[in-house]
Amino acid sequence: DGGITQSPKYLFRKEGQNVTLSCEQNLNHDAMYWYRQDPGQGLRLIYYSQIVNDFQKGDIAEGYSVSREKKESFPLTVTSAQKNPTAFYLCASQDLPSYNEQFFGPGTRLTVL
Amino acid sequence: GNSVTQMEGPVTLSEEAFLTINCTYTATGYPSLFWYVQYPGEGLQLLLKATKADDKGSNKGFEATYRKETTSFHLEKGSVQVSDSAVYFCALFFSSNTGKLIFGQGTTLQVKP
């Protein structure tokens, strides 16, 4: 089955540690996105990528970094510079150039202890 | 700028009640409009979409009509079930843009038996 996988589902880290969230898709989509979701709020865009080895900052990129070395993979690193990293993180992918719907993964809940 | 506003929740209904979740948007141009649904602990799933004015999207008994004159895309269902309990997100995007989605803040629906 085609889809998007995110791992792990739950992640705990200590303050001051970097942590990397995995996102893999087998839909052959060109574009991939990372969103952050906080309780009672909509989704906010962190980073996105439309092609391998290229990515752009979204609305809240500070304290985060990404890479896009392979078409199917778009890992997100939450660095120690992110002041309030506890949140639910969602990865999505989208076919280009049709710009049709975005498909979402199941999410990773990150908790900073 | 472009934005989406949804009615605040939570919306609490009894089973078989009629549902309306309001969504209005501000946009320069003619975006495509989406409703996504998020069940507890999961990612987002596309519920329905409309790509031009007067289009009606429908799926699983839910409907929404793209109203350019009122810049609205209200979600409706004639008879809700307990299984419809979820968070509903209205979103817009422009196909001529980067494919980025702009989300409303989400509306929580609770359906009681």
Greater confidence (B105 vs B100) lies with: B105
> Do B93 and B46 contact (CB within 8 A), yes or no?
no
Contacts of B41 (CB under 8 A, 6+ apart): A107
**What is the reported pLDDT for B100?**
79
**What is the reported pLDDT for A74?**
98
Confidence of residue B4 (pLDDT cuts 50, 70, 90): very high
**A42 vs B101: CB contact, 8 Å cut-off?**
no
Question: Considering only CB atoms, which chain A residues are within 8 Å of B98?
Answer: 48, 50, 56
Question: Considering only CB atoms, which chain A residues are within 8 Å of B106?
Answer: 40-42
CA distance B26 to B72: 9
In this complex, the residue of A50, A106, A107 whose CB is nearest that of residue B98 is A50
- Percent over 70 (pLDDT), chain B: 96
In this complex, the residue of B42, B93, B106 whose CB is nearest that of residue A106 is B42
